[in-house]
Chains A and B, each alone.
Chain A
Amino acid sequence: MAPEDKNDGKNDGKNDGKNGNGSIVTLSGITKTFYRGKEPIPVLEGLDLDVPTGSFEALMGPSGSGKSTLLNIIAGLDRPTKGTVKVAGSDLTHMSDGELAKWRSQTIGFVFQSFNLIPVLTAAQNVELPLLLTGLSSAERKKRVATALRVVNLEDRMDHFPRQMSGGQEQRVAIARAIVNDPKIIVADEPTGDLDRKSADDVLHLMEQLNKEFGKTIFMVTHDPAAAERASVQRKLDKGTLV
């Protein structure tokens, strides 16, 4: 489905993309412990979280508070040591790595701090990457790429390589890549961290637009209070618990 279409909340046609309580993310009793050798390092401790469908939430907190770990668990990149994770109607707790990868490709749109575009591919090819995992025809893929780039206002930069673009433009291409598959939720890890104020504003404005106009749920980790203010909900994580 193209990004201009409103999300109908369905997940593989098997569920409504919600966890039964109107939330798109439901975390229960999440504990995450890392180990340095045999020494346990608790990062998240008994955390519960509900993110309503269609919300734009910002998660703040000091370095080492577990923000990125929480984001990785929501995005299906990491598993909790204890607790259950339900996102967009799917229980991620018992999914295999392969199932999680497939689920991510259909459900999650990623926006990273350092854009993470592939330098040898053009803007259009970078945006097309997630579509290679679908069975779409080349013509259909091109159509969707053009739509996604139009949403981020970079249609004219389609054939530019990342090195030929500014940081703000690169991040907008990354957002186009995140939405091209029409994900149910967009997770953003410090999306404005590497940008100047003006570019950061543009990116945040775009994210607001995706949330308000296209109904995308956005969960954003940020250090930047100005960025957090643009979200409809601000949460704070400290020492592994939400405060």
Chain B
Amino acid sequence: MNKAIATTIGIVCISIAIGSDHNNLEKDRPLRFDDAYSTAYRSFEFQAGFGVDTFDRSKPVYNLQFEIQYGFAKNRDISIGLDPYFTSESGKLVGNAIDLSYFEGVSREIGNNPAFGYRIDAGIPISGGDGAEFRVRGILTKTLVHYDKIHLNIDYLQTTSGSSGDRKSRMGAIIGYSNPIGYPTRFDRTLLAEFGIEQGMTTGSGYNSWIGIGLRNQVSSTTVFDFGVQADTSRTSGEPSSPLRISVGYSMNF
């Protein structure tokens, strides 16, 4: 598998979440954006996900996501996760990084002011992996018409690995949208959509972008099932494009 794919997967799979409520939006469950709220104080949440990336210039990549989060203080949580992936090219499961995250919800939505939070993610190499990746994400969440919300995520990414022609730092942004489906007669589903843009990995390259749509469905009092589809809408030269990225996941808090 080429390095670009591995890097892409590595970044996508750093995840954290808030409580297992279909309305609480969690990065990678199933889309990439976050809302500005942390997991509840004293809550643990376990997440598991499975995804398939259908790259246009290589064989599909299958990835797994496991993560556990803990609300260690009011409006603050930490998480640790593993994201092993499997490519039919290499024929083996690779899991050489551990993801650590810190999230803080600074402010809830008050009056016309959006909720604000931020997160810091670190992908730390283990067992032969090389280079660490860091991301700082600022998040704004604001109610739109009534029940629907918009979520603006601004990312700064820094990597310690890569060749001389690669960017060490990049910027990205995602506009996410969420809207509960079925109000006011049913209360167990939320529709999600996003449009994201991110600087390409090669120095001097342009922007990559993607769109996604997903659904979070409350299964029980403590569990949520999610399903999402994403597609790259533009990709800088040299980076493989993924016309279809499918993910399913399950979250449970305790």
Q: Does A pair with B?
A: no
